[in-house]
Chain A
Amino acid sequence: MTTHSTPMKVREPVVFTGDPAAGGGRRRGGSLATRRTRAGYGMSAPALLFLGATMLFPLVYNLWTSVHQVEIGDLVTGDWAFNGADNYDAVVSEGAFWHAARISLLFTAGSLVFQFTIGFALALLFVRQFPLAGLFRGLMLVAWLLPPIVSGTLFRWMLDADSGAYNELLHTVGLDALAHNWLTDPSTALPGVIAANVWVGVPFNMLLLLVGLQSIDPTLYEAAAIDGAGPWQRLRHVTLPLMRPVAAAVLLLGLVYTFKVFDLVFVLTGGGPVDSTTVLPLYVYQSAFKLFQLGRGAAAGTLLLLVPLVVAVLYVRRLRKEGAAA
């Protein structure tokens, strides 16, 4: 290409002098195909440069920081001493890191089990056709779309000891013994946080599973019914096997999304009481932004990335398999 025109500006109409199939393509600046390819790179460039600066660079920078001795003062001087795997050593030999990993595991497992089970049950209900189904489903989705800071604040208030609505509900139905100061007791703070996160996650799970249920061919149920299968057997032998791919996708996505939850926990408990709800993202935040041990924080952040990366590999392999089958 000898002109200065960028690929984006190629605008002149293609003038045909003969057979449209043969002409047109070969003009100034190479064949139509190469010109298109060049335009493609031009069109990708802004977004890729953007993500290069805001995502790729931060990831690399994070790795770089994680192998250096960096405290807050070193940020200004730029005086970083390479210290190899020292930060990683320090992180994995710290009890607080493994404690946070354990909390994250409990938080993620607890959230997934409940939000998936409840979401599936609701999807089975909402797949039936009944009046107002769309309205109820839509209302529930609002819970998922609320800013996490709002839902966190909301649950802090719902779970309040003396004036909280859930304790009052327990009193009303006669379960006074269960009423409790949920978030300030280290043994029930994590279940409280999980409950809030399940509330946020249920509509999302329900919606995706509902789409899966709706795509099951209804004649399969008719055939099963003709063969004498009752509702339970139809669920067991038709619905569940056919829902496996959707369920796997929902659980994998749920795993990553739950694992990285930060703001909800931050506003609910801030990680307390006595670190009983410090999930890993909160631990990373504390080391980098509260203790200003930037090197260590970066090492912990890199370790935090392992989980989404493993899940990403599984997810992409599943998509590939699905693509090959389709």
Chain B
Amino acid sequence: MTRPRRPWLLTLVAGVITAFFLLPLYWMIATSLKRPDEVLSSPPRWFPTPPSGESYAQALDKPMLGQALLNSVAISLGVVALTLVLAVPLTYAVARIRMRGSAAMVLSLLVAQLLPSIVLAAPLFIVLRDAGLNNTLLGLVIADTTLTLPFAVIVLRPLVRAMPAEIEEAALVDGCGLPGVLWRIVLPVMRPGLIAVGAFSFLLGWGEFVFGITVNSDPEVQPVTVLLNTFVGQTGTAWGPLMAAATIVSVPVVCVFAMLQRFIVGGLTAGSVKS
């Protein structure tokens, strides 16, 4: 596209749109910084003056929040690890090795991405219970990885397929075994995809809710999303502490995205539009 004649005018337009679009995020932070008695004022005030940390103090005072945040960190990191460990070898196999059924595998993974998790929830509960893993963090890691693994292979496969065969052959000829080829050649080629998949797996594990309430009933191992939902009362929600908790839950999302935006955007578009 040609360079616009008045680019700053476009910046102004886009800025106003972005500001309006992000109003809910501003409102979350503004509410979290108001004094609790100011939160429900009608009409509401646009600015928290003066800002107060009381809602945060009240939120962090809730008995389970710290534990739930730790649980979610552990679950998210577990999902990242399990996803990568399972996805990398499978990706290499379906992308580079002539195998019967690999086309069918890729196809099933594409379809697997589309399934509603609520349909899997009840049987998954049975599987995890029979394995003695219900009400454990590992059980939730396993359940969440069901959602990230197909996506991971879909995102990583094009990267491995695009790798020139000569590099791999040269390494084999030079005496690298298959594990050596994987470690020294394939993994570096996959790096941008691995970062994207890692970031996505983290964000999915962090935000997952359906399995959190269905395969798990023990408050000791509940993820923070499930706890957050219990703060929403049918009558009389304490919005100040709730928005403070929501802000705390959003911080890692913003951090991961800010650090890895380039990879996330690349991985997302590669995984969705092409195969």
Contact = CB atoms under 8 A, between A and B. Distances in A.
A271 B269 CA distance: 32
A163 B149 CA distance: 42
Nearest to B7: A130
A132 B15 contact: yes
A190 interface: no
Contacts of B237: 156
Given A139-B18, A164-B44, A165-B23, A249 B273 contact: yes
A325 B55 CA distance: 58
Interface string A174-215: 000000000000000000000000010010100110011000
Contacts, number: 318
A103 interface: no
A43 B175 CA distance: 20
Tell me the dominant secondary structure on chain A's binding face.
helix
Interface in B97-142: 97-99, 102, 105, 107, 110-112, 114-124, 126-127, 142
Interface in A54-79: 54-55, 57-59, 61-62, 65
B246 A154 contact: yes
B4 A150 contact: no
B162 interface: no
A44 B94 contact: yes
B145 A50 contact: yes
A323 B43 CA distance: 57
A20 interface: yes
Interface in B148-180: 149-150, 153, 172-173, 175-180
Interface residues of B, number: 104
Contacts of A154: 24-25, 27-28, 243, 246
Contacts of A305: 115-116, 119
Interface in A25-55: 33, 36-37, 39-41, 43-44, 46-48, 50-51, 53-55
A158 B257 CA distance: 24
Contacts of B119: 58-59, 62, 284, 301-302, 304-305
Contact of B122 (A55, A147, A204, A297): A297
Given A37-B99, A301-B122, 11 more contacts: A59-B120, A61-B126, A140-B21, A143-B25, A155-B24, A158-B27, A266-B229, A267-B229, A284-B119, A309-B111, A311-B114
